[in-house]
Amino acid sequence: MWKRFQSPVLLFLFLSILHAQNDGIPPIGTIEIYGNRTLSDTEVRDALGFAEGDYALPQLDMTLGPRLAREMGVAEILLDGTCCDNDGNVLVFVGIDETGESRLTWRPAPAGDARLPADIYDTFLAFNTAVRAASMGGAPTEDLSAGHSRVSDPTAQAEQEKFLVFASGRLDILKRVLAESADRNHRAAAAYVIGYAENKQDVVEDLVDASLDPDPSVRTNATRALTAIAALAAARPELGIAIPAGPFIGMLNSVVYAERGNGVRVLQYLSAGRDPDILAEIRNGALPSLVEMSRWSYSGHNWSPYRILGRIAGLSEDEIAATRMEGREAVIERALSLE
């Protein structure tokens, strides 16, 4: 089961408080570096003060990123982490913004008093509780074929069935809360539930706007909903569902690891139809970022970026899968040669 650490300080607390090497606490398995265009990976690793295999990171506190940025002469350095890789080890991500241009611009925070009705909001909370409980025994699987999430856990799935009713009968209030509510928790709930609308194209614009919300939970729920809609659009092009690629291409260049993940999630489906205009837009807007993510060590994080890159390079889906472990670098060089 994957667990994101919400901030560098939480990663620091997790690793330092529980750092005894023989207590089953995972060491760092991989350090992934991204965003560096003039700095080398070696320079960054030398400056970090820790390496793969370390258990405790006393240096990894909230001051480390700003200090490293000052010392290395760049605009921003952010550190984040996830647990765990296939060997149960922690992955650390080091995001670098050398010029100050990688921070995305969010829409203004809404200030309205709109709130979700109690039954919708309480059902969303019950769904979250059910998913957390199910995850204790291993992450439940998720089916996106209908254009919205359907998880394998029956308790969580029962709550999701209610979302279909809510999105059918009360779409107006979901749209209003998502666009206007000052309460980020209600916006996040609305972003999730609105994806269950019967006509998916009706909510694409709302969700794209919400993907640029100032709150990360709203952004994540909006991009997850759009990912499911994009999966349906890829599987059934006759529906004519159109999702703009631009906002998600911008996310690929972010200094924030989670934002890159949001962008990749949507673009892996938007690129599945191999529309030459979409592939060219991705290539022109984010090729260096796709290359560095495709070179990440952990396969769970390099696979989706590499699929997008392989499509840009003109490979079939079978060829992309066959070169994932061996031959990846040749495909990367092929994609770079298309510039």
Q: Which segment, 49-53, 83-87, 237-241, is predicted with the most confidence on average?
A: 237-241
Spell out the long-range contacts of 277-282 with Cβ–Cβ below 8 A and sequence spacing 24 or more.
278/245, 279/311, 279/312, 281/245, 281/246, 281/249, 282/245, 282/249, 282/252, 282/308, 282/312
Q: What backbone torsions phi and psi does residue 92 show, to the nearest 5 degrees?
A: -110, 135
Number of Cβ within a 10 Å radius of residue 11: 24
Q: What is the pLDDT of residues 228-248, one digit of tens each?
A: 999 999 999 999 999 999 999
Mean pLDDT of 101-121: 93
Residue 53 pLDDT > 90: no
pLDDT in tens, 130-185: 999 988 877 788 999 999 999 999 999 999 999 999 999 999 999 999 999 999 99
d(CA 75, CA 8): 18
More confident residue, 87 or 33: 33
Nearest CA-CA partner of 2 in 121, 113, 86? 86
Contacts of 334 (CB under 8 A, 6+ apart): 313, 314
Backbone angles phi and psi of 128, in degrees to 5: -60, -40
Distances (CA, A) of 236 to 12, 17, 195, 201, 271: 45, 50, 17, 13, 14
Domain 3-97 has CATH 3.10.20.310: yes
Picking from 128, 136, 91, the residue whose alpha carbon sits closest to that of residue 1 is: 136
CB contact at 8 A, 271 and 311: yes
| pLDDT of residue 3 exceeding 70 | no
**Parts of the chain belonging to CATH 3.10.20.310:** 3-97
What does the pLDDT read at residue 89? 84
Helices (H), the chain: 8-17, 41-48, 64-72, 118-135, 154-169, 171-180, 184-193, 201-210, 216-235, 246-252, 257-270, 276-294, 299-312, 317-322, 328-337
Q: What is the pLDDT of residue 287?
A: 96
- Quote the pTM value: 0.87
